[in-house]
Amino acid sequence: MLLTHDNHSDNLDSQGRAVLHQAPVVVTTASATRRLGKQAQGLAPWSTTFLQSPRRTTIQITATPARHGPPGSRPLVGDVIGFALQWAGQQNGVVWLSGDTVLYRDLREAVQQLDIGVAIVHLGGVRFPITGPLHYTMTAERAVELCSLIEPRLVIPIHYEGWSHFRRKDQQWV
């Protein structure tokens, strides 16, 4: 299981927590390992692990930088990472999952180091009344800017509906 962060219920709700023990491994942030138990394997940005299984292709998982809000928000929102997935014989580039992040300098630099074929981008333009116009996930406009840097073959927008803190709904992404 890939888990970009464990401390928000829109990423790991009570039902997800109830089935965590069924996953042989949960690849997540280093800080989440203390909360999730022995099957959790924590990664810091740019660290790598491998998922291996007999008679199956090994998948290389590299954690990528993410920031779930404006500068200085990490003590409040916690750690988050994205994932770059690669395997032998992969022909269309890396599969990249952004995680809950805003577009910021380190992310811009990181994605340009990867040959991304499929970008699974967390959107939603998350904002909260107490912090006004500050965003905690990408807006569609920032996602377009990001994708213009990496030019993936396919973009899959996710994480933009179903919760009250999402400020943009699916029809606004079209």
pLDDT tens sequence across 18-50: 677 777 788 888 888 888 778 888 999 999 999
The domain of 139 spans 43-172
pLDDT digits (tens, 9 = 90+) for 58-102: 999 999 999 888 787 676 777 899 999 999 999 999 999 999 888
For residue 53, what is the domain's CATH number? 3.60.15.10
- Structural domain contains residue 66: yes
Q: Given this model, what pLDDT does residue 164 score?
A: 45
Percent of the chain with pLDDT over 90: 41
72-81 CB contacts, 8 Å cutoff, 24+ apart? 73/134, 73/136, 77/8, 77/136, 78/5, 78/7, 78/8, 78/29, 78/31, 79/5, 79/29, 79/30, 79/31, 79/32, 80/4, 80/5, 80/29, 81/4, 81/5, 81/28, 81/29, 81/43, 81/44, 81/45
Residue 29 lies in a domain: no
Residue 20 counted as domain residue: no
- What pLDDT does residue 166 have? 43
